[in-house]
Amino acid sequence: MTLLDGKAVSAEIRSELARRSGEFAARYGRRPSLAVLLIGNDPASEIYTRNKIKGCEEAGIRSLSYRLPGDTPQQDVLELIRALAGDDGVDGILVQLPLPAHLDAARLLCEIPPEKDVDGFSSQNMGALALGKEGIAACTPRGVMELLSRYKISADGKHAVVIGRSNTVGRPMALLLLNANATVTVCHSHTRDLKEECLRADILIAAVGKPKFVTADMVKEGAVVVDVGMDRDERGKLCGDVDFENVKDKVSYITPVPGGVGPMTVAMLLENTLQAAERRMR
């Protein structure tokens, strides 16, 4: 079994990005920049945004951090996004989800122009992905594809099974695998025989949000297993959707949690930002 080491790969990517950001700055007289909006004080969101801002520093990307109180009216957030959308010095806009309940996330995300939508959640970018065209792909699924590629694992002709169909992970993940010529099965809470579906996977992606949900009897011998989950076990310790200890000896490759997909998500946000900056300046 080989560990898919997202932490090491993301460090490599960040140093490549730092070099490219330096070239960008030398050419255009400014660094690529990312505006990060955090509304309210959800503790997990605070950690995620902190990691993203730290990642920007390491990759030579200027981060503009906007912290708004949890009761900020929709109109105020809308106006801020519009101002950032029209600001030539801003290459990427990220609104940290989830938002407080009184805010209409879909409406707000629509205000981010597709070329600055570095999370890839807008209908234009999701549509481009669905049509197999160039756009900005969501960071977590893109991170999974990059991790596979760095370990020279091709999806071409393989049977890939994705558990989960959320708009942020499962759905774009399935589309990226399809665009990479895998035969894709998408499973969800209505799937009749989940174990049977999973056992056919050459590449199994778990994005369920349930601790240690994927057990050894659901995994084919020699499969590649990617665990997107960020869950807490019964003792409150961070774990994934895969029962790592019991699955690891059966597979050819597997991601750990932490240190697998998580760091790749941040690396792809930075990559999306730099690419957005390069495209805009071109």
CA gap 167, 72 in Å, rounded:
25
Q: Which helix (H) or strand (E) holds 96?
A: none
Helix H, strand E, coil C: the string for 59-79 is CCCEEEEEEECCCCCHHHHHH
With CB under 6 A as the contact rule, the residue among 135, 164, 172, 256 that binds ligand NAP is 164
Q: Does 229 bind ligand NAP (CB under 6 A)?
A: yes
- Is 133 labeled as catalytic in the residue annotation? no
Pick the closer one to ligand NAP by CB: 55 or 262: 262
Contact 218, 198 (CB under 8 A): yes
Residue 23 CB, nearest distance to ligand NAP (Å)? 28
The count of chain residues that interact with ligand NAP, using the rule CB under 6 A, is: 24
| Token pair for 152 | 């020279």
52 is catalytic: yes
> What CA–CA distance (Å, rounded) separates 151 from 3?
10
Q: Is 194 in the site for ligand NAP (CB under 6 A)?
A: yes
Least distance from ligand NAP to the Cβ atom of residue 95, Å: 15
Nearest approach in angstroms of CB 118 to ligand NAP is 15
Instruction: Sketch the per residue contact string, 238 through 267, with ligand NAP: x for CB under 6 A, - otherwise.
Output: -----------------------xx--x--
**Does 6 interact with ligand NAP (rule: CB under 6 A)?**
no
Choice between 10 and 84, CB closer to ligand NAP: 10
Could you give the angle at the alpha carbon of 86 between the alpha carbons of 84 and 92, nearest 5°? 50
SS3 238: strand
Kindly state whether residue 231 participates in binding ligand NAP, applying the rule CB under 6 A.
Answer: yes
Q: Pick the stretch among 34-42, 85-93, 128-136, 204-212 that binds ligand NAP (CB under 6 A).
A: 204-212
To the query of whether residue 96 is one of the catalytic residues in this protein, the response is: yes
User: Which of 81, 144, 207, 274 touches ligand NAP by CB under 6 A?
Assistant: 207
Q: Which two tokens stand for residue 65?
A: 């951090």
Asked if residues 187 and 197 have their Cβ atoms less than 8 Å apart, the reply is yes
Binding mask 135-154 for ligand NAP (x = CB under 6 A): -----x--------------
- The smaller minimum CB distance to ligand NAP, of residues 80 and 108, is found at 108
Q: Where does residue 157 fall: left (phi above 0), alpha (psi -120 to 50 degrees), or beta otherwise?
A: left
Query: Using CB under 6 A, which of 40, 55, 135, 170 touches ligand NAP?
Result: 170
126 binds ligand NAP (CB under 6 A): no
d(CA 15, CA 38): 26
Centre a 10 Å sphere on the Cβ of residue 203 and count the other Cβ atoms it contains: 23
Would you list the DSSP string of 102-123? TS-HHHHHHTS-GGG-TT--SH
- Rg of the chain's alpha carbons, rounded to an integer? 19
Helix (H, G, I), strand (E, B) or coil at 135: coil
Q: Which region, judged by CB under 6 A, interacts with ligand NAP, from 49-57, 79-87, 100-108, 186-194?
A: 186-194
Catalytic pick among 5, 91, 117, 119: 119
Binding site for ligand NAP (CB under 6 A): 140, 163-166, 168-170, 187-191, 194, 207-209, 228-231, 261-262, 265
Catalytic residues: 52, 96, 119
